[in-house]
Amino acid sequence: MKVWAVANQKGGVAKTTTVITLAGHLAAKGLRCLLLDLDPHGSLTSYFKQDPDSLEKSAYNLFQMHQLYSNNQIKELILHSEVEGIDFIPASISMATLDRQLGSQEGKGLVIKKTVDLLADEYDYVLIDCPPVLGVLMVNALAACTHVLVPVQTEFLALKGLERMHNTLNMIVKARQHGVSFTIIPVMFDRRTRASIDSLRALREKYGTELWSGVIPVDTGFRMASQKGLPLSTCSRSSRGSKAYAELLDSLINPNRQPDLKLVTNE
Ligand SMILES: Nc1ncnc2c1ncn2[C@@H]1O[C@H](COP(=O)(O)OP(=O)(O)OP(=O)(O)O)[C@@H](O)[C@H]1O
Ligand SMILES: [Mg+2]
């Protein structure tokens, strides 16, 4: 089982969109995906038409099980999306209190790791949607994952935020017994704007091989897909945004097949 955490301490950089669109492509390949909504705001949960303010059970419950829980207990938290092959554990607003509640409780950083370990036979991929803050939820995601995806907007202010995320990742990598690899993904790329082109160049100069060599273009289809509650890859497979995420997935699954830099375009 592969576990990918999608994380960036900056808000609104397409973390949730990345989780959902990649899941759509994975499910289309017949792979079983579990999405974990670890953001107390519950955007992923709302995307799939559930209300994070009124759910009785959510990822919050995982942090309340003090014993080593069984996978049957975890399965009670899993909901099915409308898309065959995509299940999810929703978030609830109560998760915002976890940092304060758990204090220095032992093992609080490994709750999600234990959860995914118990589900190893049930899913091919677990994709974790992280909140935009470094707290117990993000620490759990980074301890549980086999790879981190860091979406970053192609604009200069986002580069500063990326530096912060990069430092966080380096810190976590040092704390883990086994390192963790990560891929930075340039998103919301608009080739008509100087800012997009210049910031992409700056990203390439600074991050080199840690950066995916493709780009996710601006595509209004993402907003429409979110209104329908479906991944863009499910409702508009041939759209530019969907194709770009298919390319991204391809290079994550086959790291030797990076798209040619010259092909970087949002046409
Ligand atoms: N490539 C894109 N082109 C156009 N719009 C996009 C693109 N990617 C994401 N969006 C839109 O940008 C908004 C923010 O995206 P998203 O919710 O995925 O970000 P996020 O990083 O999860 O935000 P938060 O930090 O609040 O959880 C959404 O309305 C989404 O539909
Ligand atoms: Mg989000």
Q: How far is the CA of 107 from the centre of ligand 1 (A)?
A: 32
Ligand nearest to the CA of 165: 1
CA pair distance 118, 101, nearest whole angstrom: 24
Q: What's the rounded Cα separation, in Å, for the pair 241 and 5?
A: 20
Query: Residue whose CA is closest, atom 16 of ligand 1?
Result: 14
C-alpha 161 – ligand 1 centre gap (Å): 16
Ligand 2 center to residue 103 CA distance, Å? 25
Helix (H) or strand (E) holding 184: strand 181-187
Global pTM reads: 0.94
Please give the torsion angle defined by the CA atoms of residues 42, 104, 65 and 91, in that order, rounded to the nearest 10 degrees.
Answer: 0
2-263 has which fold? Answer: Rossmann fold (3.40.50)
Q: Rounded distance, CA 137 to CA 6, Å?
A: 12
H or E stretch including 118? helix 111-118
**To which residue do tokens 């060599």 refer?**
213
Q: What number is the average pLDDT over the span 236-265?
A: 79
Residues 133 and 11: their CA atoms lie apart, in Å, by 8
Instruction: Specify the pLDDT at position 258.
Output: 55
User: Rounded to the nearest whole angstrom, what is the distance from the C-alpha of residue 131 to the centroid of ligand 2?
Assistant: 7
Domain ranges of the chain: 2-263
Ligand 1 neighbours by CB, cut-off 6 Å: 11-17, 39, 43, 132, 187-188, 216, 218-219, 222-223, 226, 241
Window from 90-99, 168-177, 248-257 with minimum mean pLDDT:
168-177
Residue 219 CA: nearest ligand 1 atom is 3
Per-residue model confidence as pLDDT tens digits over 96-134: 999 999 888 888 999 999 999 999 999 999 999 999 999
The pLDDT score that the predictor gives to residue 103 is 86
| C-alpha of residue 134 to centroid of ligand 2, in Å | 14
Q: Ligand 1, residue 129: give the atom nearest the CA.
A: 22
Q: Shortest CA distance to 223 belongs to which of 16, 10, 11, 6? A: 16
Tens of pLDDT along 161-187? 899 998 988 888 777 777 788 999 999
Ligand 2 (single-atom ion) residues, CB below 5 Å: 15-16, 43
Tell me the CB-side half-sphere exposure of residue 17, using CA atoms within 13 A.
27
Ligand nearest to the CA of 133: 1
Within 8 A by CB and 6+ apart from 250, the residues are: 257
Residues facing residue 185 across a β-bridge: 151
